Structures are given as structure tokens and as C-alpha cells.
């Protein structure tokens, strides 16, 4: 069965790029959110197998959203996405429970490798 994935990024074109990569590789995009607050709501609503979450977003950043999702569901699987040069944030997100991280700009192979590693 296809894995359900929630995509969280404040940039619509980034969500579209990730969605394209995932659907071409047999994954199902169960939902999208443009900020951390919406991501937490959507997570509780659809219980996806995986969340791909940007770190830098308005309202609630990815790390705060990650912590909120993990508080609601300790078994939640989240992969963080960040631009180059955000090493401290990446470390913080891994400590907060993220399973992996992907660096932007996205490389299709790296995205799929990370997703496969976390949800198969």
C-alpha cells in the first residue's frame, strides 16, 4: 500500500516539487500545509505515515511543529527540509525527534532515499 505523506513548506512551488517527486515514485501525498500550525492540525486530522517539513516558516517554524507533532504522537515520523547552512537547526530538529533531513534544492534521489529509509 502506498505510504501517505504530509508535505509542509511555506513555498507553494517547493510543495509542488516534492509532491511531483513523491507521486512519480509511488507515494501518496495525503495533505499539504504552508506553516507549522497548519501542519500540526493536518497531522492530527490525517495521521500520515510521514511528514516532510520545512524548518523556516511563518507562524510556527518546523522545529516547533515537529515538537508539537511528537507530543501528540510519539511514533510520528518526520523528515526535515532545510536550505544550506542551517546545520544548527538540523541538529536541533534531529534532537527533537526528526528521522532525517533533506537539503534544498531537492535532489530527487536524496528525497526518495530518505523517504524509503524512514517508511520503506
pLDDT tens per residue, range 62-97:
999 999 999 999 999 999 998 866 678 888 999 999
pLDDT at 1 over 80: no
Which string of b and e fits 13-49 if b means at least 16 CB within 10 Å? ebbebbbebbeeeebebbbbbbbbbbbbebbeeeebb
Please provide the size of the chain in residues: 120
Q: Which residue has the higher pLDDT, 120 or 32?
A: 32
Q: Residues 94-106: pLDDT tens digits?
A: 999 999 999 888 8
For cell 501518496, name the residue.
28
Amino acid at each position: 500500500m502506498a505510504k501517505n505523506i504530509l508535505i509542509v513548506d511555506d513555498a507553494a512551488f517547493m510543495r509542488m516539487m516534492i509532491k511531483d517527486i513523491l507521486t512519480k515514485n509511488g507515494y501518496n501525498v495525503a495533505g499539504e500545509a504552508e506553516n507549522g500550525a497548519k501542519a500540526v492540525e493536518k497531522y492530527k486530522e490525517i495521521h500520515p505515515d510521514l511528514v516532510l517539513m520545512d524548518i523556516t516558516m511563518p507562524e510556527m517554524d518546523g522545529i516547533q511543529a515537529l515538537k508539537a507533532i511528537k507530543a501528540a504522537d510519539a511514533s510520528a515520523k518526520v523528515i526535515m527540509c532545510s536550505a544550506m547552512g542551517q546545520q544548527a537547526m538540523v541538529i536541533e530538529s534531529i534532537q527533537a525527534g526528526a528521522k532525517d533531513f533533506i537539503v534544498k534544492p531537492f535532489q530527487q534521489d536524496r528525497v526518495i532515499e530518505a523517504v524509503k529509509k524512514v517508511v520503506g
